[in-house]
Amino acid sequence: MITAYLEKAGCVVPTVPLRRRVRTVLIGLIAMLIGMAPAAAADTRPAEATVADGSTAVARARVAADVLMSSYDPVKAWFPSSWWNSAVSLQTIGDYMQRTGDRRYLPQLDRTFEQNKGTFPAGELSSDELWGNFTSRAIDHGEWWALNWIQAYDLTGDRKYLRMAVTIAEFTYEYWDSTCGGGVWWDGERTYKNAVTNGQFIRLTAELHNRIPGDKLWLARSQSAWDWFVGSGMINSSNLVNDGLNKDCRNNGQNVYTYNQGLAIGAALELWRATGDPELLSTARRLADAAIDGGLTVDGVLTEVCDAPDRSCSDNSKQFKGIFLRYLMDLADTTGEARYRAFVATQAATIWERDRDAADRLGARWAGGTTTEHPNAFDWRTQASALSALIADIPVPAPKHSLGATTSPAQPVVMPASTGTTKVQATIGVSVTGPASEPVTARVTVEAPDGWTVSPSSGEITLNPRGSAHPVSGTFPVEVTVPATAENGHHDVSATVTAAPGLSFSTRSDVLVAHQVDFDTGTVDERPWLWDADGSQSNGVQNRFADGNRYFVYKFPFPNDTTTARATVTIDNEYVVDVSPDGEHWTTVLREERRITDGSNKADQVIDLTPYLGPDKATYLRVSDSYPDDGWGGRVYHVTATAD
């Protein structure tokens, strides 16, 4: 039925570049008629911005996108433990590919589409029961997937993605009724009409109209949904969007979440493209202005309610700000207004300077800051959210040249011996894009703390770019020598990479010097010791667990003069603990044989690590699930380890 509908509508899809040229021309004509700037076809940054600035923005986004995709599960073809967040993260990767021209992650998009379009029982993909075609009782979840598949269609021109988006939109429309005068229900039980579900629906239906030649059906639905949304009262007197309606069909006064505000901007903007109605564009601007002029910011930085130092964001709300930035980027590109570009640039710079660790992981609090009780969270959801700001900061069109760099290991641990030195092998990774006819010679300069040495401290690496679709990478290995007198704490080994024309990028390794192991799980203190997180999860301080066939591994690089070592692990539920001298050959030292799912067996377990010291005196400790069939694997709270 969907295929027939598309063909009846004359959906002979032109190539993506042609479609974009047509839409850009139409928007420009409409803009001139209403006396405003046309859609941005080029960068609208201040005149003093240089080519290198845009190139750095591309490189930063590429580094962050690669970190995000390192969490993608190629087996299940999604981001583990969250269904709708996976859709938003994949759309963010689509935004990145569309913005930069880097097409390396198209296979993952398609793998997710083909592998996950069927039915799944509840819990299989950390969701309600999935009814097929990316739908479930959670109506808004399906809409996130529909928006993602339209993005995939824009990237590839493959009509199967557009057909899927139509299928999901038809399913969603079944939950539109006359309660409260209209609107789509948030859930299959029809208990709540809210901003997110209807903001998505307006954007989705307008996007369908703008991609299906001759369409009238989706445009009519989009216009009706917008009229209802504006009349519902969810947009308050401050031009901020509250969460939804109460049982009396009035604004419930609940939090103004950044993603609801962003979706309202995006909905108005896409419907404006469909109709040319200047009031829609004016509304999008009012909503954006209300947010960035203090309604949703603190000191100029976009801030979610849960970003406060005395609060922690849920896994869902970790991604809200990125959704706002996606649609503010659209508004900035469309209007060309400098104030929107400046706001985007502020977010990107703040994230990179205050909310990024040495492993280039981006956190939940874009302004930075952490507390013991409510630490700043770093995971793939926060990565995807902050990545949207970095993507928005890339000029249009993206520069052909870019230069990026990373350091591996990014957060090594050194446990010095009583005398002598400890050597750390590190690699500076360099990536470039540029015309295929122009080799790039990058100069690498490495600096270490006083009393440490780096060899070599400088050198060059030459790479041959192949355009933007597939960045070319190379490595520059170095050896860092740490003296026995190095003080406990964090020490930076930094590298700067430069190349013509005027390109520069900096990276660092955050070396932790420690004489003993002592950390709570779920904190930044845990990260340097976490050798392999696999598919484990952490839901707050003193909480890391591995369910099913997942596991996590800690590495303890004891001093090279170690003779004995021991660890104490606070652990509960259905655990298996294995120890290894090399990270490959394992011996089980602890196993919970009982089926315990309530934490009642929580205890400090002492493990003698001496028999498992490796040739370099390192020891690896792995935690997994003793009963993988019921999903209550080992949960660790605190770890200590010492050596003699």
Contacts of 29 (CB under 8 A, 6+ apart): none
Task: Tell me what pLDDT residue 554 has.
Answer: 98
As a whole number, mean pLDDT of residues 441-465 equals 97
Q: Which of 402, 469, 395, 398 is nearest to 440 (CA)?
A: 402
Is the Cβ–Cβ distance between 365 and 307 less than 8 Å?
A: yes
As a whole number, mean pLDDT of residues 63-81 equals 94
Residue 250 lies in a domain: no
Q: How far apart are CA 344 and CA 349, in angstroms?
A: 9
pLDDT band at 5 (very low <50, low <70, confident <90, very high): very low
Percent of the chain with pLDDT over 90: 87
Residue 219 lies in a domain: no
Task: Summarize pLDDT for 374-409 with one digit per residue, the tens.
Answer: 999 999 999 999 999 999 999 999 999 999 999 999
- What 3 state SS string does 395-407 have? CCCCCCCEEEEEE
> For residue 428, what is the domain's CATH number?
2.60.40.2310
**DSSP SS3 for 455:** strand
Q: Is the pLDDT of residue 39 over 60?
A: no
531 and 637 assigned to the same domain: yes
Task: Tell me what pLDDT residue 46 has.
Answer: 39
Q: Is the pLDDT of residue 309 over 90?
A: yes
Task: Tell me what pLDDT residue 539 has.
Answer: 81
Torsion of CA 78, 81, 85, 90, to 10 degrees: -20
pLDDT band at 462 (very low <50, low <70, confident <90, very high): very high
Q: How far apart are CA 550 and CA 548, in angstroms?
A: 6
Q: How many Cβ atoms from other residues are within 10 Å of residue 587's Cβ?
A: 11
Q: Which of 176, 153, 41 is nearest to 97 (CA)?
A: 153
As a whole number, mean pLDDT of residues 412-428 equals 95
Contacts of 139 (CB under 8 A, 6+ apart): 172, 175, 184, 185, 186, 187, 188, 197
392 and 414 assigned to the same domain: no
Q: How far apart are CA 266 and CA 392, in angstroms?
A: 14
Q: Which of 513, 545, 563 is the last residue of a domain?
A: 513
Percent of the chain with pLDDT over 70: 92
Task: Summarize pLDDT for 214-272 with one digit per residue, the tens.
Answer: 999 999 999 999 999 999 999 999 999 999 999 999 999 999 999 999 999 999 999 99
380 and 361 assigned to the same domain: yes
User: Two tokens at 314?
Assistant: 């849920």
**DSSP SS3 for 388:** helix
CA angle 401, 393, 395 (to 5 degrees): 50
Per DSSP (E only), the strands in 412-516 are 413-414, 421-434, 440-447, 453-455, 458-463, 467-483, 489-499, 503-513
Task: Tell me what pLDDT residue 631 has.
Answer: 84
Q: Which of 569, 637, 574, 573 is nearest to 609 (CA)?
A: 569
Residue 128 lies in a domain: no
As a whole number, mean pLDDT of residues 416-422 equals 93
Q: How far apart are CA 364 and CA 303, in angstroms?
A: 9
Q: Got the DSSP string for 56-95?
A: HHHHHHHHHHHHHHTT-BTTTTB-TT-HHHHHHHHHHHHH
> For residue 531, what is the domain's CATH number?
2.60.120.260
**DSSP SS3 for 503:** strand
As a whole number, mean pLDDT of residues 78-86 equals 92
633 and 523 assigned to the same domain: yes
Task: Tell me what pLDDT residue 363 has.
Answer: 97
Contacts of 237-244 with C-beta under 8 Å, sequence gap 24+, read 238/290, 238/295, 239/286, 239/287, 239/289, 239/290, 239/295, 240/287, 240/290, 240/291, 240/295, 240/296, 241/195, 241/199, 241/287, 242/195, 243/194, 243/195, 243/196, 244/186, 244/192, 244/193, 244/194, 244/195
Q: Which of 495, 513, 531 is the last residue of a domain?
A: 513
Contacts of 19-23 with C-beta under 8 Å, sequence gap 24+, read 19/211, 23/210, 23/273
406 and 509 assigned to the same domain: yes
pLDDT band at 7 (very low <50, low <70, confident <90, very high): very low
Which residue range is the domain that position 486 belongs to?
A: 402-513
Task: Tell me what pLDDT residue 257 has.
Answer: 98
Q: Is the pLDDT of residue 493 over 50?
A: yes
Distance of CA 481 to the CA centre of its chain: 35
Q: How far are the Cα atoms of 582, 611, 618, 640 from residue 615, in angstroms, in the given order?
A: 8, 11, 7, 22
Q: Which of 258, 326, 266, 301 is nearest to 96 (CA)?
A: 326
Q: Is the pLDDT of residue 24 over 60?
A: no
631 and 529 assigned to the same domain: yes
**DSSP SS3 for 311:** coil
Looking at per-residue pLDDT, the higher value among 200 and 522 belongs to 200
pLDDT band at 185 (very low <50, low <70, confident <90, very high): very high
Residue 206 lies in a domain: no
As a whole number, mean pLDDT of residues 260-289 equals 98
- What 3 state SS string does 350-373 have? HHHHHCECCCCCEECCCCCCCCCC
Contacts of 386 (CB under 8 A, 6+ apart): 64, 321, 322, 351, 355, 362, 363, 366
Q: Which of 470, 496, 513 is the last residue of a domain?
A: 513
Residue 231 lies in a domain: no
Residue 84 lies in a domain: no
Task: Summarize pLDDT for 475-490 with one digit per residue, the tens.
Answer: 999 999 999 999 999 9
Is the Cβ–Cβ distance between 166 and 217 less than 8 Å?
A: no
Q: Got the DSSP string for 198-221?
A: HHHHHHHHHHHHTTSTT--HHHHH
Task: Tell me what pLDDT residue 22 has.
Answer: 39
Respond yes or no on whether the N-terminal peptide bond of residue 409 is cis (omega within 30° of 0). Answer: yes
415 and 484 assigned to the same domain: yes
- Mean pLDDT of the chain, nearest integer: 92
Torsion of CA 345, 348, 354, 357, to 10 degrees: -160
498 and 598 assigned to the same domain: no
User: Two tokens at 397?
Assistant: 């069109």
Contacts of 262 (CB under 8 A, 6+ apart): 323, 324, 325, 326, 327, 328
As a whole number, mean pLDDT of residues 557-580 equals 97
Q: Is the pLDDT of residue 14 over 80?
A: no
378 and 422 assigned to the same domain: no
End-to-end CA distance of the chain: 72
411 and 384 assigned to the same domain: no
Residue 557 lies in a domain: yes
Task: Summarize pLDDT for 589-630 with one digit per residue, the tens.
Answer: 999 999 999 999 999 999 999 999 999 999 999 999 999 999
Task: Tell me what pLDDT residue 540 has.
Answer: 82
As a whole number, mean pLDDT of residues 173-197 equals 98
Q: How far apart are CA 488 and CA 590, in angstroms?
A: 31
Task: Tell me what pLDDT residue 37 has.
Answer: 36
Task: Tell me what pLDDT residue 191 has.
Answer: 98
Task: Summarize pLDDT for 130-143 with one digit per residue, the tens.
Answer: 999 999 999 999 99
As a whole number, mean pLDDT of residues 481-510 equals 96
Q: How far apart are CA 109 and CA 31, in angstroms?
A: 34
Residue 467 lies in a domain: yes
Q: How far apart are CA 300 and CA 305, in angstroms?
A: 15
pLDDT band at 123 (very low <50, low <70, confident <90, very high): confident
Is the Cβ–Cβ distance between 207 and 150 less than 8 Å?
A: yes
pLDDT band at 537 (very low <50, low <70, confident <90, very high): confident
Q: How far apart are CA 564 and CA 11, in angstroms?
A: 71
420 and 524 assigned to the same domain: no
User: Two tokens at 14?
Assistant: 């032109």
Task: Tell me what pLDDT residue 644 has.
Answer: 93
Q: How far apart are CA 31 and CA 139, in angstroms?
A: 35
Q: How far apart are CA 32 and CA 363, in angstroms?
A: 41
Per DSSP (E only), the strands in 279-355 are 297-298, 301-302
311 and 420 assigned to the same domain: no
As a whole number, mean pLDDT of residues 516-535 equals 93
As for how many domains the chain has, the answer is 3
Q: Which of 244, 263, 250, 157 is nearest to 205 (CA)?
A: 263
Q: How far apart are CA 227 and CA 220, in angstroms?
A: 11
Task: Summarize pLDDT for 315-327 with one digit per residue, the tens.
Answer: 999 999 999 999 9
pLDDT band at 11 (very low <50, low <70, confident <90, very high): very low
Q: Got the DSSP string for 430-444?
A: EEEEE-TTS-EEEEE
